[in-house]
Amino acid sequence: MSVDPQVEAFLKSPWAQLLPVEHLTATMLRTMVKQNPLPVLAPAIHATRDLAVPGARGTIRARLYRPSAARKLPLIVYFHGGGFVICDIDVYDDLCRLLANHSGCAVVSVEYRLSPEVPFPGPLEDCYSALKYLAQQGESLDVDAARLAVAGDSAGGNLATAAAQLSRDRHGPALRYQALIYPALDPACDSGSMRELAEGFLLSRAVMRWYWGCYLAAPADAVNPLAAPLRADVTGLPPATVITAEFDPLRDEGEAYVDRLRGAGVAVVGRRYLGMIHGFVSLPHVTAVANHALADVAADLRAALTE
């Protein structure tokens, strides 16, 4: 199949003509992203509330989304993408509003510290610290911490499944589900799709290597299963949904993770969205498939947390 025509037009648009990220500093990239923001849809939602939650080394920002006035909603803890280097809860406001509305669950979006200033495992420890705190604050947040899931896209997908590992190994919060949207799982950057789709599809192999170089503090981190979940023992992890995009360099590692989970006896749903590129779920103004895919993920989360 070929790239979706609407996505192809987007790839030719000025927004997609970014300078080669691998030649920038993290500060330069963050400035460039702020100067070229995506359209803001601001879908209506019942309520939002900004929170201060404990990270590994101090307080970090988070935002609670409530899709309805119902009490004791299930909770999805969301970790944003951005290669461990860019983005924040404000950039992901639209996506989290939609995820809450589609799922009928409360969503808390966590703003972990970014690399390279804070390399692995700092961002992951922030995410796990926030997850523990939110699970403990069910009463004060009026959510049901017994119906808890983690979710994330790209780098956030990595952090979500790594946080699930920590929760399993440290006897932390019991998770019912994990939803991983085109997760970054393999610092080697050497899969078939990584080579086949190395450039020309917004995310490139060179950019991914640059992101990993920012996140990993030492060569040994590249084989640490908490940084490279494809190397992890996934036995006992919560059931999962993993979605991939046909024209995403990360496609094959996400699909290999589906196979790894399934081989370990973990119930998993794997979906590949044809004609799509990395990041498409954040592009509802480009393609209707974005909203369809997020609704699919939300339906899986809703089924796991409410049925």
Residues serving a catalytic function are 154, 248, 278
The residue written with tokens 């799982």 in the block is 185
**In degrees, to the nearest 5, what angle opens at C-alpha 161 toward C-alphas 243 and 237?**
100
Report H helices in 77-224. 93-103, 122-136, 138-141, 155-169, 192-196, 205-215
Residues 6+ away with beta carbon under 8 Å from 61: 50, 51, 52, 53, 88, 89, 111
CA proximity to 248, closest of 50, 9, 71, 11: 11
Give the separation between CA 299 and CA 31, rounded to whole angstroms: 35
The residue written with tokens 């950057």 in the block is 189
CA proximity to 6, closest of 248, 243, 277: 277
Q: Which structure tokens are listed for 217?
A: 């503090």
DSSP label of 298 = H
Distances (CA, A) of 243 to 129, 152, 218, 234, 256: 26, 11, 29, 18, 12
